[in-house]
C-alpha cells in the first residue's frame, strides 16, 4: 500500500531548548568551508574543462557528475547518520569530519588534472566528498534547534554559505590581481586557479573541524526505541527495505516543495555551467578557451558569483524577519520572482560592470533557496528520520540538474547555435515557474500556529472557565 503524499501521524517532537547566538554560530561555521569548496567548483569547473580542451556542448555532460553523486550519496549518508550514535562524535559529526578530509584531498587534485577525463573523475570525487560533509548539516539544524529557531538556524547556514562563496569565488581573481600569480594557460590549468584550490582545501577542513570540535549533539530521544529500530533494520536487505519504505511515505509538504525545487535548480544549474561562456561571448567577445580574454572572463565570473553570494549572506539575517511578516512560502515566492528577473536581464547586458545588477537579484533568490525550503521541510519531518529525508529531498535538487545536463547542451547547440546566453533565459523562465509553484506549498508550522491565534486562545480560555 502506497502512502505518497499522505499526511502521516507524527508523534509530538521533543522540544529542544533555545540555543544562544554563539552556539548557533558554531554549529554553522562548517558551511563556510563547504561553500568555499562548492564556489571553487561552480565558478571554475567549466573553465577547467574548456581549458583542457572540452567543447562547449560537452560541458553539461561533464557536469553531470555533480548531481549524480548527490543523488547517490545524500540519501545513504542521511540514512546512516540517523543510525549512528557515539558518545564523543555524536550522530552527524563523524560524517562532517571524514567528508572534509576527502573533500580537501579532491580540491588539491582537481586543478592538477592533465586531461578532461581526469578532471571529470576529480569532479566526481570532489562532489561526493562535499556531499558527505554537507548532507548531515541540514539534519543537524533539525536535530539541535526547536521549531521556532529553525528558520534562524538555516539562515545562519545561508550567511556562512554566502560568506564562503564570496571568498571562494574570488580566490582566482585575488590570486591574479592582488597576489600577481599568473593566470596564463600554457596548455595547463593556470597557477592562479591551482593556488586558489589549495587555499580552498585548507579553509574547507579548518571550518568543518571548528564545528566538529565546538559542538555537541543530543542523543536519540528514546534510546531504547532507537536501538530496537536499528536492530530491526540490520543488514543490507532490511536497510534497502527501510529506505524504500521511506520513499513511498514522503510527507505531502515535501512533495509540494519538490516541484518548487525542481524548477529552481534547473535555473541555478544553467547559471553555474554557462555563465563563464556566456560572459566570454557577450562581454569579452571570445569563444576561444585558450585565449587570455576567456581567462579574464573566468576571473570576472568569479567576482560576479561572489556578488550574488555576498547578497545572500546579507539577506540571510533579513529573511527570518520577512518570513514572520508575510509567511515563508510567500517570502520564497517573492525572492524567486526577483531572481527570475535578474537571470533574464543578463541577456540584455553587454557591459562588464552592469552584470553586477542581475547578480543582486539572483543573490536574493539564492538566499531564500538555501533557507526557506529547508525551514518549511524540517517542521514536516519525523525527527527519527530527519537525516534520511533531508537526503531524499536532495533528489529534487539533483534530478533537475541531471535533466538540465542532458538537455541544455542539446538545446544550446541545435536551437541557439552555441550561444550560451540563451541558457540564462531558460533559467529565468524556470525560476519564474518555481516562484509560482510556492502557491501550492502548505507550511506545517503555520498550520500548527493557527490554533494558537489570539481569538482562539480567548475561546479556549472561555471554554475552560465554563
Q: Establish if 452 belongs to a structural domain.
A: no
Greater pLDDT, 392 or 222: 392
CA 304, 306, 307, 311 torsion: positive or negative? positive
Q: Establish if 457 belongs to a structural domain.
A: no
Cα–Cα distance, 238 to 232 (Å, whole number): 8
Structure confidence at residue 343 (pLDDT)? 95
401 CB-contact burial (10 Å; exposed 0-12 / middle 13-18 / buried 19+): buried
Which tens digit of pLDDT belongs to each residue from 41-80?
877 888 888 888 887 767 777 777 667 777 778 778 877 8
Cα–Cα distance, 183 to 191 (Å, whole number): 6
Secondary structure letter of residue 438 according to DSSP: G
Average pLDDT, the chain: 82
Nearest alpha-carbon partner for 379 in 27, 13, 3: 13
- Range 282-296 burial, b when 16+ CB lie within 10 A, else e: bbbebbebeeeebbb
* Same-domain pairing of 57 and 140: yes
pLDDT band at 242 (very low <50, low <70, confident <90, very high): low
Structure confidence at residue 387 (pLDDT)? 74
Nearest alpha-carbon partner for 105 in 201, 34, 195: 201
Reply yes or no on whether the pLDDT at 172 is more than 80: yes
Q: Which structural domain range is residue 288 located in? A: 245-444
* Same-domain pairing of 206 and 253: no
Q: Establish if 11 belongs to a structural domain.
A: no
Q: Which of 163, 197, 217 is the last residue of a domain?
A: 217
* Same-domain pairing of 211 and 279: no
* Same-domain pairing of 170 and 252: no
Cα–Cα distance, 438 to 367 (Å, whole number): 16
Reply yes or no on whether the pLDDT at 235 is more than 60: no
Q: Which residues contact 123 (CB under 8 A, 6 or more apart)?
A: 41, 45, 62, 63, 65, 66, 110
Q: Establish if 310 belongs to a structural domain.
A: yes
What kind and span of H or E run contains 304? helix 292-315
Greater pLDDT, 130 or 264: 264
Cα–Cα distance, 459 to 466 (Å, whole number): 11
* Same-domain pairing of 265 and 123: no
- The answer to whether 152 and 317 are in contact (CB under 8 A) is no
Q: Which residues contact 53 (CB under 8 A, 6 or more apart)?
A: 116, 289
* Same-domain pairing of 209 and 253: no
Nearest alpha-carbon partner for 343 in 248, 459, 425: 425
- The answer to whether 287 and 412 are in contact (CB under 8 A) is no
Reply yes or no on whether the pLDDT at 15 is more than 80: no
Which tens digit of pLDDT belongs to each residue from 267-312?
998 998 889 888 888 888 887 777 888 878 888 887 888 888 888 8
* Same-domain pairing of 161 and 260: no
Which tens digit of pLDDT belongs to each residue from 360-408?
999 999 999 988 998 888 878 877 777 778 777 877 887 888 888 778 8
DSSP secondary structure letters along 23-78 = HHHHHHTHHHHHHHHHHHHHHHHHHHHHHTT--GGGHHHHHTHHHHHHHHHHHHHH
* Same-domain pairing of 205 and 279: no
Which tens digit of pLDDT belongs to each residue from 407-425?
887 888 888 878 888 999 9
Q: Establish if 224 belongs to a structural domain.
A: no
* CA 135 to chain CA mean position, Å: 9
Nearest alpha-carbon partner for 374 in 397, 350, 399: 397
Q: Is 459 helix (H, G, I), strand (E, B) or coil?
A: helix
Cα–Cα distance, 275 to 349 (Å, whole number): 13
- The answer to whether 38 and 284 are in contact (CB under 8 A) is no
Q: Establish if 233 belongs to a structural domain.
A: no
Which tens digit of pLDDT belongs to each residue from 419-442?
888 999 999 999 999 999 999 998
| Helical ranges in 112-235 per DSSP H | 116-144, 147-177, 191-214, 223-232
* Same-domain pairing of 188 and 257: no
Helix and strand numbers (H, E) in the chain are: 20, 0
Cα–Cα distance, 261 to 22 (Å, whole number): 31
Cell of 143: 536535530
Q: Establish if 45 belongs to a structural domain.
A: yes
| Helical ranges in 215-251 per DSSP H | 223-232, 236-248
Structure confidence at residue 348 (pLDDT)? 92
Structure confidence at residue 10 (pLDDT)? 47
What total of structural domains would you count in the chain?
2
pLDDT band at 108 (very low <50, low <70, confident <90, very high): very high
* Same-domain pairing of 412 and 289: yes
Cell of 245: 519504505
pLDDT band at 462 (very low <50, low <70, confident <90, very high): very low
* Through-space distance between the first and last CA atoms of the chain, rounded to whole angstroms: 45
Give the rounded percent of residues in the chain with a pLDDT score beyond 70: 85
Q: Which residue shows C-alpha cell 589549495? A: 198
Structure confidence at residue 232 (pLDDT)? 58
* Same-domain pairing of 403 and 308: yes
Which tens digit of pLDDT belongs to each residue from 197-208?
999 999 999 999
Structure confidence at residue 247 (pLDDT)? 65
Q: Establish if 238 belongs to a structural domain.
A: no
Which tens digit of pLDDT belongs to each residue from 309-331?
888 888 888 888 888 888 899 99
Q: Which residues contact 291 (CB under 8 A, 6 or more apart)?
A: none
What CATH number is associated with residue 273? Answer: 1.20.1250.20
* Same-domain pairing of 194 and 306: no
Cα–Cα distance, 320 to 322 (Å, whole number): 6
Structure confidence at residue 213 (pLDDT)? 94
Nearest alpha-carbon partner for 103 in 77, 129, 128: 129
Amino acid at each position: 500500500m502506497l502512502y505518497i503524499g499522505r499526511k502521516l501521524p507524527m508523534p509530538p517532537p521533543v522540544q529542544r531548548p533555545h540555543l544562544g547566538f554563539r552556539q548557533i554560530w558554531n554549529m554553522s561555521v562548517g558551511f563556510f568551508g563547504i561553500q568555499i569548496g562548492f564556489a571553487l567548483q561552480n565558478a571554475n569547473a567549466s573553465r577547467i574543462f574548456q581549458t583542457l580542451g572540452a567543447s562547449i556542448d560537452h560541458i553539461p555532460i561533464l557536469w553531470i557528475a555533480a548531481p549524480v553523486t548527490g543523488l547517490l550519496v545524500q540519501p545513504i549518508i542521511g540514512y546512516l547518520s540517523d543510525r549512528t550514535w557515539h558518545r564523543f562524535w555524536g550522530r552527524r559529526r563523524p560524517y562532517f569530519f571524514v567528508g572534509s578530509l576527502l573533500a580537501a584531498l579532491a580540491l588539491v587534485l582537481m586543478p592538477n588534472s592533465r586531461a578532461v577525463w581526469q578532471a571529470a573523475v576529480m569532479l566526481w570525487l570532489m562532489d561526493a566528498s562535499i556531499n558527505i560533509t554537507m548532507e548531515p548539516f541540514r539534519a543537524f539544524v533539525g536535530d539541535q534547534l526547536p521549531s521556532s529557531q529553525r528558520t534562524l538556524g538555516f539562515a545562519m547556514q545561508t550567511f556562512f554559505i554566502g560568506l564562503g562563496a564570496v571568498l571562494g569565488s574570488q580566490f582566482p581573481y585575488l590570486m591574479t590581481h592582488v597576489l600577481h600569480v599568473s593566470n596564463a594557460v600554457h596548455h595547463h590549468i593556470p597557477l592562479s586557479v591551482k593556488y586558489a584550490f589549495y587555499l580552498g582545501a585548507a579553509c574547507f577542513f579548518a571550518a568543518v573541524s571548528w564545528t566538529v570540535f565546538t559542538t555537541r549533539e543530543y542523543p536519540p530521544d528514546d534510546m531504547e526505541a532507537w536501538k530496537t529500530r536499528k536492530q530491526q533494520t540490520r543488514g543490507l536487505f532490511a536497510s534497502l527495505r527501510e529506505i524504500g519504505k521511506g520513499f513511498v511515505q514522503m510527507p505531502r509538504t515535501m512533495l509540494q516543495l519538490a516541484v518548487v525545487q525542481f524548477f529552481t535548480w534547473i535555473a541555478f544549474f544553467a547559471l553555474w555551467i554557462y555563465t563563464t561562456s556566456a560572459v566570454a561571448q557577450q562581454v569579452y567577445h571570445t569563444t576561444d578557451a585558450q585565449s587570455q580574454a576567456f581567462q579574464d572572463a573566468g576571473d570576472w565570473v568569479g567576482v560576479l558569483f561572489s556578488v550574488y553570494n555576498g547578497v545572500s549572506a546579507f539577506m540571510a539575517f533579513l529573511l527570518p524577519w520577512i518570513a514572520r511578516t508575510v509567511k515563508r512560502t510567500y517570502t520564497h515566492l517573492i525572492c524567486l520572482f526577483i531572481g527570475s528577473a535578474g537571470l533574464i536581464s543578463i541577456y540584455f547586458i553587454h557591459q562588464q560592470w552592469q552584470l553586477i545588477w542581475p547578480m543582486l537579484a539572483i543573490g536574493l533568490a539564492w538566499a531564500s533557496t538555501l533557507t526557506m525550503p529547508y525551514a518549511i521541510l524540517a517542521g514536516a519531518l519525523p525527527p527519527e528520520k530527519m537525516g534520511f529525508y533531508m537526503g531524499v529531498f536532495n533528489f529534487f535538487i539533483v534530478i533537475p540538474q541531471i535533466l538540465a545536463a542532458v538537455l541544455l547542451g542539446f538545446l544550446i547547440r541545435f536551437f541557439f547555435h552555441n550561444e550560451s546566453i540563451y541558457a540564462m533565459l531558460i533559467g529565468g523562465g524556470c525560476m519564474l515557474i518555481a516562484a509560482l509553484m510556492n502557491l501550492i506549498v502548505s507550511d506545517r508550522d503555520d498550520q500548527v500556529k493557527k490554533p494558537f491565534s489570539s481569538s482562539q486562545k480567548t475561546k479556549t480560555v472561555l471554554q475552560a472557565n465554563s
